[in-house]
């Protein structure tokens, strides 16, 4: 896939830009009003969030919270205002260095993570109409980190974004080309319409949602019209979800040593394309989208028996069509949001490990209540239903649901942030909870402590192999 090319390009940019940089004399762009329904604190961005402009009310027009005293690195900082003019500084940058340790609870108390990271975020606007952004991260896994797999040190480069954007001064269109993350949807507990960008599940749910989305090479075209905002994308070679690799702490061999897993040959085209229309109506917004996608997970199919007697398993990219819609409505301190998506030709296994295709209806409805100063409580119900399900489908229930509860709090003059997230799933019962906290010592230095708990009493649950992975995580981070 495109991952090696993207990461090599990101490493080259990271090394080229790793010398000390300074923003130009123009002032840094002001942080937008923070959304009170901000998601969990990112693992490598343990900072506090700024308060909404109106105390206690949720701003429906905002997107994500921007930490106090930091630069907003989103492309919106450089895009057009209502008059079609640019605002914000020409060049901004931020470097982040962090070290993280995590240890399992229980009798063994084994060290799981021991890693150091260096992240560079760089954004620049030039020649009146061009904007470029790079977000690259170098991870160093030391010998007792599970990702080192017995080596003295293992390194990895992750390029989340590396793109060039063109939007003519005073115009109503924008074109972005390069490695990007495309976020659709409102749900925090499930991928309902948010199916374009794949996820990093190499460390399960221990990777926060904001960090788990993987960048991939794509083209995005936006048109801002009086009747709403139109967005179209094209992905020539899509990436797939990342899962634990052999030798790491979370790897589970689904097939065993008596099988040979190989990529299927031939097949249909695997490029992706789609469109979204979105419009804001006062305190509300609504969007409608359609896309032709390659599923983010491979399908697996039994293809026969090898000469040595081992089973041949084919890893198959599966095409699907998605039609979806989202909405959000804000009134005072309450935000109601929801989304629904019909996904055709999803792949499932029958009892003989063959493939059957079924349509799936995914939906979510949630409520977030603001307690003031970015303190929020939220609850969400997520449901996935296989249309035309029959007993021949193996390992997947006809109807699966999750209850998601989250809370965000700020203390000590907004220096201490605490986020709590719990997900309960049924009918194959499982529970997972994360408590993430961060203390901002000063404008540059911060410390974080996270607690993670998982339980899967039902043997059919996909989380059953990880029921002993309760952990405590300690982190120190320096930004400038």
How far apart, in whole angstroms, are the C-alpha atoms of residue 453 and residue 459? 17
Q: CB–CB of 438/46 below 8 Å?
A: yes
CA pair distance 450, 43, nearest whole angstrom: 9
Tell me how many domains the chain contains. 1
Range of the domain at 211: 3-479
CATH of the domain at 133: 2.40.160.10
Residue 468's pLDDT is 86
The predicted pLDDT at position 188 comes to 79
Which pLDDT score, from 0 to 100, does residue 42 have? 30
Quickly tell me which residue has 């702490």 as its tokens. Answer: 249
Facing residues of 259 across strands?
Answer: 311
What span, in angstroms and rounded, lies between the C-alpha atoms of 233 and 322?
Answer: 14
User: Phi and psi for 329 in degrees, rounded to 5?
Assistant: -135, 125
Q: How far apart are CA 433 and CA 450, in angstroms?
A: 11
pTM of the predicted protein model:
0.80
pLDDT number for residue 341:
97
- Identify the CA nearest to 132 among candidates 174, 87, 160, 163: 163
Residue among 358, 457, 338 at smallest CA distance from 399: 358
88-102: per-residue pLDDT in tens? Answer: 458 999 999 999 999
Task: Report the 3 state secondary structure along the chain.
Answer: CCHHHHHHHHHHHHHHHCCCCCCCCCCCCCCCCCCCCCCCCCCCCCCCECCCCCCCCCCCCCCCCCECCCCCCCHHHCCCCCCCCCCCCCEEEEEEEEEEEEEECCCCCCEEEEEEEEEEEEEEEECCCEEEEEEEEEEEEECCCHHHCCCCEEEEEEEEEEEEEECCCCCCEEEEEEEECCCCCCCCCCCCCCCCCCEECCCHHHCCHHHHECCEEEEEEEEEECCEEEEEEEECCCCCCECCCCCCCCCCCCCCCCEEEEECCCCCCCCEEEEEEEEEECCEEEEEEEEEEECCCCEEEEEEECCCCCEEEEEECCEEEEEEEEEEEEECCEEEEEEEEEEEEEEEEECCCCEEEEEEEEEEEEEEEEEECCEEEEEEEEEEEEECCCCCECCCCCEEEEEEEEEEEEECCCCEEEEEEEEEEECCCEEEEEEEEEEECCCCEEEEEEEEEEECCCCCCCCHHHCCCCEEEEEEEEEC
Could you tell me whether strands 311-316 and 259-263 are parallel, antiparallel, or unpaired per DSSP bridges? parallel
pLDDT of residue 210: 82
The residue among 250, 259, 161 whose CA lies nearest residue 211 is 161
Q: Residue 170: its pLDDT value, please?
A: 84
Tell me the C-alpha distance between 152 and 49, whole Å. Answer: 37
Kindly report whether the peptide bond that precedes residue 206 is cis, defined as omega within 30 degrees of 0. no
Show pLDDT as tens, one digit a residue, over the chain (480 residues).
444 444 434 434 433 333 333 333 333 333 222 222 223 223 333 333 333 333 345 544 333 333 333 334 444 444 444 444 454 458 999 999 999 999 998 767 789 999 999 999 999 999 989 999 999 999 999 999 999 998 999 999 999 999 999 998 888 999 999 999 999 988 877 899 999 999 999 998 888 888 899 999 999 999 999 999 999 999 999 999 999 999 999 999 888 888 999 988 766 678 999 999 999 988 899 999 999 999 999 999 999 999 998 999 999 999 999 999 999 999 999 999 999 999 999 999 999 999 999 999 999 999 999 998 889 999 999 999 999 999 999 989 999 999 999 999 999 999 999 999 999 999 999 999 999 999 999 999 999 999 999 999 999 998 999 988 899 999 999 999
CA 131 – CA 220 distance, rounded (Å):
14
Distance CA 30, CA 69 (A): 10
- pLDDT for 58: 53
């Amino acid at each position: 896939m495109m991952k090696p090319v993207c990461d090599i390009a990101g490493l080259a940019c990271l090394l080229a830009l790793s010398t000390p940089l300074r923003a130009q004399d123009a002032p840094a762009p002001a942080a937008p009003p923070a959304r009170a329904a901000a998601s969990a604190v990112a693992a490598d961005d343990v900072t506090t969030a700024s308060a909404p402009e109106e105390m206690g009310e949720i701003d429906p027009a905002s997107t994500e919270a921007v930490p106090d005293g930091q630069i907003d690195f989103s492309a919106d900082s450089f895009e057009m205002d209502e008059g079609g003019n640019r605002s914000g500084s020409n060049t901004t940058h931020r470097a982040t260095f962090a070290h993280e340790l995590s240890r399992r609870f229980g009798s063994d108390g084994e060290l799981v993570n021991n890693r150091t990271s260096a992240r560079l975020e760089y954004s620049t606007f030039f020649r009146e109409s061009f904007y470029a952004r790079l977000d690259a991260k170098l991870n160093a896994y030391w010998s007792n980190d599970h990702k080192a797999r017995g080596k003295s040190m293992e390194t990895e480069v992750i390029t989340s974004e590396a793109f060039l954007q063109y939007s003519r001064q005073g115009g109503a269109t924008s074109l972005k080309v390069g490695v990007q993350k495309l976020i659709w949807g409102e749900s925090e507990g499930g991928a309902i319409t948010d199916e374009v960008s794949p996820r990093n599940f190499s460390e399960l749910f221990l990777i926060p949602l904001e960090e788990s989305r993987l960048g991939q090479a794509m083209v995005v075209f936006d048109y801002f019209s009086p009747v709403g905002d139109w967005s179209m994308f094209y992905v020539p070679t899509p990436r797939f979800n990342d899962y634990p690799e052999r030798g790491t702490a979370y790897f589970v061999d689904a097939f065993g040593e008596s099988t040979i897993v190989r990529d299927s040959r031939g097949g249909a085209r695997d490029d992706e394309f789609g469109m979204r229309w979105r419009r804001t109506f006062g305190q509300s917004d609504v969007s409608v989208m359609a896309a032709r996608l390659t599923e983010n997970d491979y399908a697996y199919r039994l293809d026969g028996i090898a000469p040595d007697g081992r089973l041949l398993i084919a890893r198959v990219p599966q095409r699907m069509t998605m039609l979806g819609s989202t909405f959000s409505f804000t009134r005072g301190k309450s935000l109601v949001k929801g989304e629904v998506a019909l996904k055709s030709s999803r792949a499932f296994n029958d009892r003989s490990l063959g493939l059957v295709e079924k349509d799936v209806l995914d939906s979510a409805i949630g409520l977030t209540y603001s307690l003031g100063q970015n303190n929020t409580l939220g609850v969400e119900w997520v449901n996935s239903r296989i249309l035309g399900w029959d007993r021949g489908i193996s390992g997947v229930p006809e109807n699966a649901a999750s209850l998601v509860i989250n809370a965000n709090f700020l203390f000590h003059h907004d220096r201490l942030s605490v986020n709590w997230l719990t997900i309960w799933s049924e009918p194959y019962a499982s529970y997972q909870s994360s408590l993430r906290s961060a203390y901002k010592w000063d404008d540059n230095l911060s410390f974080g402590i996270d607690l993670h708990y998982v339980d899967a009493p039902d043997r059919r649950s996909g989380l059953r192999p990880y029921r002993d992975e309760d952990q405590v995580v300690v982190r120190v981070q320096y930004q400038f």
